[in-house]
Homo-oligomer: A and B are copies of this chain.
């Protein structure tokens, strides 16, 4: 069919199980497509899990997330936002990683996002493991540190693994702070929990001023209170949002490699995103969905719904800025 504009195909026209699966049923726009310049928000897959120290699998997430995202419709039932009326959106395809080499993959990812940034497109990314966020930040935060709202059960602030190896999915934000891609004073980590080997990561957070909100505090205070603090921490300056699916309790999101018992439920998983409304978001990602661990697709469907909620707040934020 002819290009129908930057709008998803409707399930009333073509059933949702039909058609080639792109993110949200959006048009696929490649870098050499003349319409690229019109795109405002780009959904991108990063099919790579080379930083995974335990159970692999997130390299398969972009394809499963695309599949499940075809179940999502146009307007947000809770917030009434219609993102495709607010911003031109497209599926920009996948970064091509090198499964056999960590350093080469990091370079390939940054190169891809350099182009996205240069095209003025806000990237909404689907990992991949959490190490993927580091090369994305290297492109987006090239010239100044960003704030970050980080949903996760782990801080990912460790120094190294296996005798000094510095690039794993447990280390990206240590590196990002070291490389001045993040302003630690404007970083808030929410949902941290689970057993640990030591306190090295928490000590680092304390030392540089990252605010860590453990899950016990989250459950005690509730979504509204916690998110009000998070909004205050990042403020109105440029902010990145990184959402590790293991933030959510593993019963609601079993498809992930390093689950930790006792997280938020699925309603809260959406509420925390809705509470980002109005922030100055210049990029976001959803990482660590691992299809081999949940072939049912339940986790990916939750993930696709979170991506849609992120898309809504980004599109609304963008529309507000234009209006201002």
How many copies of the polypeptide does the oligomer hold? Answer: 6
19 CB < 8 A contacts A-B: A15-B59, A18-B59, A18-B96, A52-B99, A54-B71, A67-B67, A74-B196, A75-B195, A75-B196, A78-B193, A78-B216, A98-B162, A101-B162, A104-B162, A195-B305, A215-B267, A250-B266, A261-B269, A263-B267
> Which residue from B16, B59, B195, B302 sits with its C-beta under 8 Å from A261?
B302
Given A1-B32, A52-B99, A267-B219: A21 touches B63 (CB 8 Å cut-off): yes
Residue A66 is within 8 A (CB to CB) of chain B in the complex: yes
Which residues of B are found within 8 Å of A77, using beta-carbon distances?
Answer: 192-196, 214, 260
Given A197-B75, A267-B219: A101 touches B21 (CB 8 Å cut-off): no
What 0/1 readout, one digit per residue, does chain A (74-113) give for beta carbons within 8 Å of chain B? Answer: 1111100000000000010111111111101000000000
Residue A322 is within 8 A (CB to CB) of chain B in the complex: no
Which residues of B are found within 8 Å of A78, using beta-carbon distances?
Answer: 193, 214-216
Which residues of B are found within 8 Å of A278, using beta-carbon distances?
Answer: none
Closest residue of chain B to A101 (Cβ to Cβ) is: B165
Which residues of B are found within 8 Å of A168, using beta-carbon distances?
Answer: 99-100
B162 touches A99 (CB 8 A): yes
Which residues of B are found within 8 Å of A161, using beta-carbon distances?
Answer: 12, 100
A2 touches B249 (CB 8 A): no
B219 touches A47 (CB 8 A): no
CA A296 to CA B101, docked complex, whole Å: 28
Residue A221 is within 8 A (CB to CB) of chain B in the complex: no
Which residues of B are found within 8 Å of A184, using beta-carbon distances?
Answer: none
Q: Distance in Å from the Cβ of A96 to the closest Cβ of chain B?
A: 4
Which residues of B are found within 8 Å of A51, using beta-carbon distances?
Answer: 100
> Which residue from B56, B99, B104 sits with its C-beta under 8 Å from A53?
B99
A262 touches B270 (CB 8 A): yes
Which residues of B are found within 8 Å of A96, using beta-carbon distances?
Answer: 13-15, 18-19
Which of A143-151, A235-243, A251-259, A281-289 forms contacts with chain B? A251-259
Closest residue of chain B to A259 (Cβ to Cβ) is: B301
Given A99-B15, A251-B251: A30 touches B53 (CB 8 Å cut-off): no
Which residues of B are found within 8 Å of A254, using beta-carbon distances?
Answer: 296, 298
Which residues of B are found within 8 Å of A21, using beta-carbon distances?
Answer: 20-21, 63, 66
Docked complex: A289-320 residues within 8 A CB-CB of B: 292-293, 295-296, 298, 301-302, 305, 308
Residue A17 is within 8 A (CB to CB) of chain B in the complex: yes
Given A20-B21, A75-B198: A15 touches B54 (CB 8 Å cut-off): yes
Central interface residue in A55, A219, A296, A305, by most chain B CB within 10 Å: A55
B17 touches A60 (CB 8 A): yes
A261 touches B305 (CB 8 A): yes
CA A55 to CA B75, docked complex, whole Å: 21
Docked complex: A1-53 residues within 8 A CB-CB of B: 1-2, 10-22, 28, 30-32, 45, 47, 49-53
